[in-house]
Amino acid sequence: MKPLRKQGIIIFSILALILVACGGAAEETSEEEAVVEEVVEESLDSPAVTTATAVKTGVGVTEEPCPEVISNIPTGADPTKGCIYLGMLNDYSGPFGAAGPALDIGQRAFWLWANSSGGIGDYSVAIKEGFDASYNPQKHLEGYNSLKDEVAAFAMSLGTPQTLFILDNLNEDDMVAVPMSWWSGWAFKDVDASTVIEFGTQYCADGMNAMDWASENAGTLTGGLVDIKTVGIIGYESDYGKDYAFGIKEAAKNAGVEVAWEYLAPPTEFDVTQAVGLLVTKPVDAYFLATGLAVAPQVAGGAAQQGVTPFAMFLGTSYNDAFVAEGSAVKGLFESGLIYAMSFGIAPYEADTVGHGIMRATLSQITDSASTFFVGGWGSQYHLKGVLEAAVKGGDLTRAGIRRAATNVTVSSDGMMPEKKLGSGLPDIASTITKPDGSVGSGAVVIKKDYVGSCINEVPSWLTMLYFQPSH
């Protein structure tokens, strides 16, 4: 690993990009633009490279068929086709251990459907057994090294700091990975060199939209009881905590709302008592929360026990349907109409899109649950599928060919997310806002889909959010 070199590259790119955004000029900036232009010219959108009649293959692609079952879930693989193997770096025992199994199942269910619908050219796709990295960067690298010689790409790399920790390895191995995180930096080639296939709405955009939507709607939703003039921010000092907080602060400044206080602490040092204490001793009209799943209900519930229940907007990674399940101690609080949650840019399980319908039909063969994390797992694979299809079209299913496909290809998702051109430097900015509701399987109903607040179009430069690079 070369964390200092990696950090330097990212910070240099950020400075160059911000200079461009602000109208500055520098020789380095011009050189950076020239490199990007070369990549675009050689992309799979060029007719010169999309007429291959034979497909070159490499590591992780076999002529033998995929196994029929992996992790007790059918692969749907065609026994007459070869196999493209994918790796999975998940969290089954760490701070997101409650989400890991559903993310796992969602991804496997996606490829069950994709394989049953024809696969990727002459190949089916199978995800190997998931590696439990426990949201730990060193274990993440360990898992990467244990799988890299067996897979063509990674279907999941859970966590931004964890994925950044292996970014040099991805680059050196010509490996692409789907991040199970929504850090703003993933939209930029300058950050990940097209090794990361992002999906969904970035944390910063969710922060901006959460602030704008709350300001516009809290009064109506509470019968005039809440008029947001002051807010607090609670979260982990992490990629999503800082990114979400940055968006909130920008939108608050834009709306004339005071950020009265902010409590961000590393996950291992986060003090629930301190967070609750701020809510109780320094009252605000609303607070915005971005923590792990175990901490979030403790903060909200702890304040409620002391009679403090402000309006609240939770980041999607901080909300779980278990909060409103029968028997949950915080079910009433979360269903009170005072707490709302963002949703990764993908609507919950019950949403009415073609993609959601396919997902429900497929998952019903595997489980009776309707967790939002099934949606995250399933939705994460659409863009990877588009990249693999583009690589086959270009006749190159080697790692280099797959990476090349990811530099400049337009991908879609049967209506689950907006169409996207990967590596465009244009983050997805539309948010889905949900209300906790234990009467539906996902535990959340859509209040507003594809919401874009006023702040996003008024912030000087989206590139400034790259300042919030997670520490390793």
Q: What is the pLDDT along the chain (472 residues), one digit of tens a residue?
A: 444 334 434 433 433 332 233 223 333 333 333 333 333 344 444 333 444 568 999 999 999 999 999 999 999 999 999 999 999 999 999 988 989 999 999 999 999 999 999 999 999 999 999 999 999 999 999 999 999 999 999 999 999 999 999 999 999 999 999 999 999 888 788 888 889 999 999 999 999 999 999 999 999 999 999 999 999 999 999 888 999 999 999 999 999 999 999 999 998 899 999 999 999 999 999 999 999 899 999 999 999 999 999 999 999 989 999 999 999 999 999 999 999 999 888 999 999 999 999 999 999 999 988 988 999 999 999 999 999 999 999 999 999 999 999 998 999 999 999 898 887 777 788 999 999 999 999 999 999 988 999 988 775 444 444 444 443 2
Q: Could you tell me if 232 and 262 are in contact, meaning their C-beta atoms sit under 8 angstroms apart?
A: yes
Locus of tokens 């337009």: 410
Listed in sequence order, the residues at least 6 apart from 367 whose beta carbon sits closer than 8 Å to its beta carbon are 105, 374
Which residues lie below 8 Å from residue 124, measured CB to CB, with a gap of 6+? Answer: 65, 66, 75, 76, 77, 78, 81, 82, 83, 84, 111, 115
Residues ≥6 apart with Cβ < 8 Å to 411? 382, 383, 385, 386, 387, 419, 420, 421, 422
User: What backbone phi and psi angles, to 5 degrees, belong to 234?
Assistant: -125, 130
pLDDT score for 459: 59
Q: How far apart are CA 189 and CA 178, in angstroms?
A: 14
In angstroms, what CA-CA distances link 36 with 190, 402, 421?
9, 17, 14
Q: At what angle do helices 354-363 and 372-393 cross, to 10 degrees?
A: 110
Report yes or no: 230 and 260 within 8 Å, Cβ to Cβ.
Answer: yes
Contact 227, 285 (CB under 8 A): yes
Neighbours of 5 (CB within 10 A): 10
Q: Residue for token digits 């999607």? A: 316
Greatest CA separation for the chain: 69
Q: CA–CA separation, 267 vs 67, rounded Å?
A: 38
C-alpha–C-alpha distance, residues 303 and 324, integer Å: 17
Cα 123 from Cα 218, distance rounded (Å): 51
Percent of the chain that is helix, strand, coil (3-state, to 5): 40, 20, 40
Q: Report the alpha-carbon distance of residue 453 to residue 459 in Å, rounded.
A: 11
What's the pLDDT score for residue 239? 85
Nearest to 155 by CA among 80, 84, 238: 84
Name which of 233, 258, 253, 231 is nearest 243 in CA terms. Answer: 233
- What is the structure's pLDDT at 40? 39
Tokens found for residue 49: 């490279």
What is residue 184's predicted lDDT score, i.e. its pLDDT? 86
Beta bridge partners of residue 56, listed in sequence order: 396
Instruction: Return the CA Rg of the chain.
Output: 22
